[in-house]
Structure 1
Amino acid sequence: MYAVIKTGGKQYRVTAGYKLKVEQIPADVGSEITLDQILMVGEGESVQIGTPVVSGAVVKATVLSHGRHDKVKIFKMRRRKHYMKHQGHRQNYTEIRIDTISA
């Protein structure tokens, strides 16, 4: 069984046991969270598509860790104008493991 979930403004296709890094979720490490914005649930040939979410579908996940992604370097420059700007950004993330999918 698989599901398409929406969290942090992004969509992910997940199955049970799948690990992924999502936008930061305010939860303690080791706690169980419930993701309720399920856009699609499928198993074999049967597929349920939500309008916009599948009613009654729930995905339970466990928070594994919190961290920060690698640095993204931003460099702006205007040629011949003596303008250069260096900037960096590290986005926070939460690593989760999908435990169960129920439709």
Structure 2
Amino acid sequence: MSRKVIKISIALILFAGLLGSSIDRTQAYPAFLRQAAKYGAKNCLFCHKNAEGGEGWNERGQWLIAEKERRKAESIDPAWLSDYKEPEKAEKPEKKEGDKPEAGKEKKEKP
């Protein structure tokens, strides 16, 4: 092989490496997103804190990581989302007779 062919080959390999490392992370796990769509996922924010994915997980993402450890699995399986339970949102306590109304929301009586 001539030196010119070797130089072109090296340049192509370096270019391909740079191109491959600059691919957006959202493209890294399209299979995860497709599988998680069955459970309501529309984007990476379904499990991540950042729209691009990557490090930083919300409660669902942290649950998946804990499941991976619990199951001693090599990788996360989006099908586990079928077992995920949304945390219950804090409900307002019921008012009992004799409770004081909240400040600024007193019920005014008509004379």
Q: TM-score, normalised by structure 1?
A: 0.24
Answer with 1 or 2: which has the greater Rg: 2
Larger RCO, structures 1/2 (Cα 8 Å, 6+ apart): 1
User: TM-score under structure 2 normalisation?
Assistant: 0.23
